[in-house]
Amino acid sequence: MPHEEKSPALEDAFVPLLLVVLAVVLTFSTDSFLSSGNVLNVLSSMAILAIVAFGQTFVIAGGGFDLSVGAQVALHGAVGAIVMRETQSIALGLAAAVLSGVVFGLLNGLLVIALKVHPFMITLGTSVIGVGVTLILTHAESVGGLPASIAGFGVGRPLGVPWIVWLMIVCFAVSAFLLSVSPFGLRVLSSGGNREAARLAGLRVERTIVATFVLAGAFAAVAGMATTARLQSAQPTVGEGLELFSVAAVVLGGSALHGGRAAVWRTLLGVLVISVIQNGLNLNGVGDAWQEVAVGIVFILAMSAELLRRFSRLRTGRKEAPPRTTVADAPAKATVT
């Protein structure tokens, strides 16, 4: 099992305290922040970002980076919509979207491994390709003519909770199990924490890294189909900005940007912080221009949180050791927190 270390109190409390401060401020500055309707609105609005961020968590945990997930949401949603329009089958549309996500993720992973170029550059390039392919497939227009039954997914509320929130919960459970419980999660964290030592331990690091990109693609496909269902059409620009927000959510939540330390529940907290800030700005009538400024501050805050965590570890004398080369030490830096 992964080595599990106790984090400094400041490190663990940072995001929860931030959420408490935001909740207190917004409770006093608005009349409806804590209303049941607004709480469900926050959960619904954060669902797409959360699903994408869950996939991004695997890539970052493995020491990678995926800037193509935003473009993928639009692409896979369009693929699914086109198949649904032609077949009038939701199941076939979903299958096509997920297959598209798996293929795109596989392409990302294979390029990263084969070219030995930083994932930042590879996924930046495939992101541009994804945008272009989406515009070609959709002719730069929305894709309509979907099965009438898909409308239920856009407005349905099982047990009074929007269906998209249930979808987010299912995706959270699956990703949390894979990363924190399954042997696959150990391989991902070991590969991200100390890649060379993981190889010496007999782990198939390249295969694991490729798998993280495939998972990110699959989650992006689910998010794309969820967006298509909500809008009752596929829009070629729906994923803009999700790649940056997903990275910010992962890092703000507490996962290490350099890999080896990650937890899906932390990512969920990061997404919640971003969504609460956006919701609070809307409730207070803040204009779009100032909301863009606030978004930039969130990104800086995410990076500051990473620096704060490193400083906290230095203060407690638990600075990460240099990479080791013995087989026994392979998973030493892999941490589920």
- pLDDT 10s digits, 37-53: 999 999 999 999 999 99
The strand pair at 261-262 and 335-336 is best described as parallel
Instruction: Tell whether the model's pLDDT for residue 272 goes beyond 70.
Output: yes
- Distance in angstroms (rounded) separating the CA atoms of residues 114 and 322: 26
Q: 157-182: per-residue pLDDT in tens?
A: 899 899 999 999 999 999 999 999 99
What three-state secondary structure class fits 66?
coil
Of 213, 259, 220, residue with least CA distance to 2: 259
Instruction: Tell whether the model's pLDDT for residue 32 goes beyond 80.
Output: yes
The predicted pLDDT at position 309 comes to 62
In the structure encoding, which two tokens stand for residue 159, read together?
Answer: 């047990």
Q: Please answer whether residues 172 and 54 qualify as being in contact, where contact means their C-beta atoms are separated by less than 8 angstroms.
A: yes
- Distance in angstroms (rounded) separating the CA atoms of residues 110 and 113: 5
Encoded amino acid at 186, one letter: L
What three-state secondary structure class fits 156?
coil
Q: Please answer whether residues 101 and 220 qualify as being in contact, where contact means their C-beta atoms are separated by less than 8 angstroms.
A: yes
User: How far from the centroid of its chain's Cα atoms is residue 314's Cα?
Assistant: 28
- Distance in angstroms (rounded) separating the CA atoms of residues 88 and 85: 5
> CA 92, 93, 98: angle at the middle one, nearest 5?
100
Encoded amino acid at 105, one letter: G
Instruction: Tell whether the model's pLDDT for residue 151 goes beyond 90.
Output: no
Instruction: Tell whether the model's pLDDT for residue 264 goes beyond 50.
Output: yes
Query: Contacts by 283-290 with C-beta closer than 8 Å and gap 24+?
Result: 283/26, 283/29, 283/30, 283/32, 283/33, 283/38, 284/26, 284/29, 284/30
pTM score, two decimals?
A: 0.88
> CA 239, 240, 243: angle at the middle one, nearest 5?
80
- Distance in angstroms (rounded) separating the CA atoms of residues 93 and 147: 10
How much is the average pLDDT of 297-318? 66
User: How far from the centroid of its chain's Cα atoms is residue 294's Cα?
Assistant: 20
Instruction: Tell whether the model's pLDDT for residue 313 goes beyond 90.
Output: no
Instruction: Tell whether the model's pLDDT for residue 257 goes beyond 60.
Output: yes
Per-residue DSSP letter, 143: B
Q: Where are the beta strands (DSSP E) in the chain?
A: 261-262, 335-336
Ramachandran sector of residue 63 (left: φ over 0; alpha: ψ -120 to 50; beta: rest): left
